[in-house]
Amino acid sequence: MAGPGVAEAGDAAVVAPSAAALAPAARRSRALPAPVRALRPVALGVAALVLLAALWELVKAVVPEDGWSVGELRVLPRTTDLAMPHVTEMLARLGEPLTSQPGADPLWLAVLRAGGTSLRIAAVSWVIGVVVGFGLALLMTRFRVARSAVLPLVVLSQTVPLIALAPLVKGWGSKLELGFTWEPWMSVAVIASYLAFFPVAVGALRGLTSPDTLHRELFAGYAASWTQELVRLRLPASVPHLLPALRLAATSAVLGVVVAEVSTGMPGGIGRMILEFANFASSDPAKPWAPIFGAVLLGLVASGAVALLGTALRRFRRAEVAA
């Protein structure tokens, strides 16, 4: 039976390398005042948005209204006010009423409500994707034969267009007898989880298999069981790989929800709003961009919410590895 040395081995194998990896970053971080460190991500995000808006206006000012083509291939888009409204016009439209009817809500409020509906569904799909993806990663880590059999199927699954699965999942869900009514949003959540599980499965597999032979042999020397090795070594070592994968899964869940809402016709969400507002492209060109901004904001909120997990896992958070 493994003794207390297993815990000591886990600390030696995981915590010590983590501290060493964090040392340069920690020194650079301490060189900045605490308020600056806290506001730095926000400032970078705002700067990126300002840069994107400036680039939009630059393209609109430089590129001809009919765009630019090489032969029959269009290289740059049209820059007319119908195709590319000014940034100020799009922002101003957010504060105007949704419709011309008296007492209509402002456009930003309608987008916010639709975004809240989509965000709740995306949260459910993210949980489903994390459970399925991490379960597959554990299976592939524990059994080599499962890795050889399952990993190619996991990769192959992402070649199937999501829009092709939407009507199938919706039809299957309506025929299930589970003791409760299968709601349309449940089909959307399942469809979106199809995108969310992939980065978790791949990232968790990379993380769980990241400990080197020396550390695994150390645990074997203490006669540690596979479960003890998983909890004390593999899970802490997987954190730098898993956190980026979870953030990517969150944004993938939002994307999946938007596509699924369009494909299944579920009302009330940001995806359906994008489809409906596209009809106003000629009469109200700034209006269709409002739900697009809302979808971008949803992705940022989802990714930021998952990033908060990193604060709880700071002990094991070394330099993160791209998913």
pLDDT above 50: residue 174: yes
Looking at residue 11, which CATH number applies to its domain? 1.10.3720.10
Residue 90 lies in a domain: no
Q: What is the pLDDT of residues 31-67, one digit of tens each?
A: 666 566 656 766 777 888 899 999 999 999 988 888 8
DSSP code for 209? T
Residue 191 lies in a domain: yes
pLDDT confidence bin for 20, thresholds 50/70/90 = very low
Residue 201 lies in a domain: yes
pLDDT-wise least confident of 117-131, 184-198, 302-316: 302-316
Mean local confidence (pLDDT), 89-93: 93
State pTM to two decimals: 0.80
Question: How many separate domains does the chain show?
Answer: 1
Residue 216 lies in a domain: yes
Count of other CB atoms within 10 angstroms of residue 100: 7
Residue 53 lies in a domain: no
For 288, the domain range is: 5-31+99-316
Q: What is the pLDDT of residues 204-226, one digit of tens each?
A: 999 998 888 787 777 877 777 77
How far is residue 109's CA from residue 310's CA, in Å, rounded to a whole number? Answer: 31
